[in-house]
Structure 1
């Protein structure tokens, strides 16, 4: 009998329902005491203390926590992000944060869910494959914690064969799940354009090379890159977020700065937009007798779900009676760095739309969100373990006590 066949998934889900109740207070404490990116050290210490003694613990530079349960060999990792956003909370919850930061993206829920899953698996043996927990800092900023985890070599050291992530998603307001194969989150790059011209009095424009006018032409031309260079069935997003120039209404400024973001779902498309952006910048500058400097910072890569894992997880969730929908977003997540280094799957977990939008000061997950995320994580672990172990059967189970979503009408 293989390890995956010996493992009782039904017992694991039944135990998970109890552990979810046990971490309710933890989730509220994490929510009330958020830490912004780079300052997660006490959050990491709290989470480490919440885990059973059977877990091996390792702390890496930069507030990265690595946990391991089980024998040596190929493992499945589950990621939970620890950082909060610099947002003043306005939810009115009794456990609302009051330190100028906020878990406005559900990371408190993700952390509590991982603790519930870890406690469950520590009490449900034998494991089909070892579990590795990744307590990750800095998901919300450009200095990506996931990138640092991958770069550290710890995935190879822990023999991680698959990585599972779960994220709350209010767009799935029927409380459905989604683990669509292939690209599910966009690459997120940023650009900064600085155009330099020749300043002049506003009454004498013929004496100037107008950097602000050139920047305005650049902003308009940017929108044509997507409109006229991408297949409309495989779209992209190019957004200008800021434009800064000048300091007086009657003076033509010497310099103008434009910044924005590029979101793409395919690498060739990503490269094409970078190239066209440089061409547009150069052409606009030449046409307006200005000079230009364009910087493009590559951010998170495209997040592509492993097809075998995604299909297997979707089937198992469906067999448990959950609604499973196809969903993709031009948002980004540094979980994509794990997907570039190992087999990986991101499971989007529905929540009521009334809970608010991600990154909003009023974002307030419902009381059963931890259970739904924990169900996604445990299902992801079990299906990944089955695949890595080379097959075997896994009992479909109804996780007693954990809310099932309603059907979309």
Structure 2
């Protein structure tokens, strides 16, 4: 029996407990920076292994012998959203796993327990019989399946990002993690479909803070003031035209204003208007150019209205680019196991998994789930079968990154 077959059998055995864990985590969500109780519950569910705490409320757990390893990421944090699903295990504390992190964590635990179980069985069989073949698994094939490093990461939903803290801590280097695997539930895909897309799959995502300063005045005498609201309005419109005229049409680019604030009275022109939003692109080479063009636009449009414009760009996630070989080979393995695989899903959403992909070969898969509500909705609730689908996707990525997928079948 191949490593993949043994691991898949063990994974299926772990799914009932993983579903139970998913519901427990869903009922008791913890927002970014306060993930301690979630971390403790997940650590309790994991098999024994070397635990290192990282990024404040995160941890890294190694399963297996020393040497090059494969990492899998599970996100610990929830969103500050009041849940509306009304299931018996719905959260009631004003927070919610509205992005599927409860599903991801349960799937990671199922994979880790399966890997630990199979390693224990194989090691015991070899020790007793003195013959690797007596376990049904040859020595060469098991040696080529890498140790597993579980990354329980905090603060995926907010800045400062937990993934960057994990990378900067050096813990992945110490564990010789040679590839990172992640999977994210995605309601735009139907259940039974997994996306393994080579190359860029998520955009860079940077936030901006924009201030336009003018001169206060009475609403009846605009000629005696310098209206920052009118200047801000023109900036918002011009930014959309910048996307259509300055960005390569073949490179997705987004400029969105999410917050605009000015004034305290309807009959007064304020002295200042403030806006916040996001700059996104699927091209890392255009990312800096986008920042520069936007800053220049703000300054020039504000000046044309007799005002002064300032922009502060807050760097966020880079473009998330999947390793092409990992994506293609994992997709082949998943097809062999009966899953429908697509290579077409890309979006201008962002994920700090990009921090791992920027320093090592990495793969982020998207897993179809059966829910009508979208991500970050108070009604978002993937079915429990999403745990199994996510766990199988992670297993396929782990086998691909840590062994030889053709033999793992």
Q: TM-score, normalised by structure 1?
A: 0.92
Whether 2:19 is the aligned partner of 1:24: answer yes
For 1:23 and 1:190, the matched residues in 2 are separated by 36
Greater helix fraction, Structure 1 or Structure 2 = 2
* Deviations 1:324-381 (CA, angstroms, capped at 9, x unpaired): 1121011000000010111110011111242x21000000111201000000111110
Q: Which residue of the other structure, out of 79, 89, 95, is the alignment partner of 2:83?
A: 89
* Deviations 1:31-67 (CA, angstroms, capped at 9, x unpaired): 00000001111111111111222x2212225111110
* Deviations 1:108-156 (CA, angstroms, capped at 9, x unpaired): 1111111100110011134611100000011000111101000101111
Aligned residues: 385
Whether 2:341 is the aligned partner of 1:324: answer yes
Do the aligned partners of residues 244 and 174 (structure 1) sit closer, same or farther apart at CA in structure 2, a change above 3 Å counting? same
For 2:100 and 2:113, the matched residues in 1 are separated by 20
Whether 2:328 is the aligned partner of 1:311: answer yes
For 1:200 and 1:393, the matched residues in 2 are separated by 73
- Whether the 8 Å CA contact 2:83–2:95 is kept in 1: the answer is yes
Q: Which residue of the other structure, out of 35, 51, 54, is the alignment partner of 1:57?
A: 51
| Counterpart position of 1:8 | 3
Question: How far did 1:175 drift?
Answer: 3.0
Whether 2:114 is the aligned partner of 1:120: answer yes
Report the more deviating stretch, 280-289 or 29-38: 280-289
| Counterpart position of 1:37 | 32
Q: Which residue of the other structure, out of 174, 190, 209, is the alignment partner of 1:157?
A: 174
Q: C-alpha root-mean-square deviation of aligned residues, in Å?
A: 1.3
| Counterpart position of 2:204 | 187
For 2:237 and 2:20, the matched residues in 1 are separated by 50
Q: Which residue of the other structure, out of 205, 225, 238, is the alignment partner of 1:221?
A: 238
| Counterpart position of 1:289 | 306
- Whether the 8 Å CA contact 1:226–1:235 is kept in 2: the answer is no
For 2:156 and 2:405, the matched residues in 1 are separated by 35
What are the within-5 Å matches in structure 2 for residues 92-171 of structure 1? 92-125=86-119, 126=142, 128-171=145-188
Whether 2:289 is the aligned partner of 1:276: answer no
- Whether the 8 Å CA contact 1:195–1:290 is kept in 2: the answer is yes
For 1:106 and 1:393, the matched residues in 2 are separated by 31
For 1:88 and 1:291, the matched residues in 2 are separated by 40
Whether 2:352 is the aligned partner of 1:334: answer yes
Q: Which segments of structure 1 move beyond 3 Å, counting only runs of 4 or more? A: none
Unaligned runs of 5+ in 2: 120-141
* Deviations 1:156-202 (CA, angstroms, capped at 9, x unpaired): 11100000001000011253101101000010011111011111111
- Whether the 8 Å CA contact 2:55–2:165 is kept in 1: the answer is no
| Counterpart position of 2:367 | 349
Report the more deviating stretch, 78-87 or 227-236: 227-236
Whether 2:43 is the aligned partner of 1:48: answer yes
User: Secondary structure at 1:83's aligned position in 2?
Assistant: coil
For 2:246 and 2:96, the matched residues in 1 are separated by 39
Question: How far did 1:392 drift?
Answer: 7.4
User: Secondary structure at 1:103's aligned position in 2?
Assistant: coil
| Counterpart position of 1:263 | 280
For 1:123 and 1:217, the matched residues in 2 are separated by 62
- Whether the 8 Å CA contact 2:55–2:162 is kept in 1: the answer is no
Q: Which residue of the other structure, out of 246, 251, 258, is the alignment partner of 2:268?
A: 251
Do the aligned partners of residues 311 and 118 (structure 1) sit closer, same or farther apart at CA in structure 2, a change above 3 Å counting? same
For 1:61 and 1:203, the matched residues in 2 are separated by 54
| Counterpart position of 2:408 | 395
User: Secondary structure at 2:380's aligned position in 1?
Assistant: coil
For 1:332 and 1:392, the matched residues in 2 are separated by 29
What are the within-5 Å matches in structure 2 for residues 71-82 of structure 1? 71-82=65-76
For 1:307 and 1:61, the matched residues in 2 are separated by 29
Unaligned runs of 5+ in 1: 1-5, 397-409
Report the more deviating stretch, 123-132 or 141-150: 123-132
Q: TM-score, normalised by structure 2?
A: 0.92
Question: How far did 1:393 drift?
Answer: 4.0
